[in-house]
Amino acid sequence: MRVSIAEDRCVAAGHCVVAAPEIFDQREDDGVVVLLDPRPPAAVRETVEEAALLCPAAAIRLVNGAS
pLDDT recorded at residue 66? 55
**Tens-digit pLDDT string for the chain (67 aa):** 999 999 999 999 999 999 999 999 999 999 999 999 999 999 999 999 999 999 999 999 999 865 4
pLDDT recorded at residue 64? 86
DSSP letter for each residue of the chain: -EEEE-TTT-----HHHHH-TTTEEE-TTT--EEES-SS--GGGHHHHHHHHHH-TT--EEEE-TT-
pLDDT recorded at residue 7? 95
pLDDT recorded at residue 48? 97
One of 3.30.70.20, 3.40.50.720, 3.30.230.10, 3.30.420.610 is the CATH number of 2-63, namely 3.30.70.20
DSSP conformational letter for 39? S
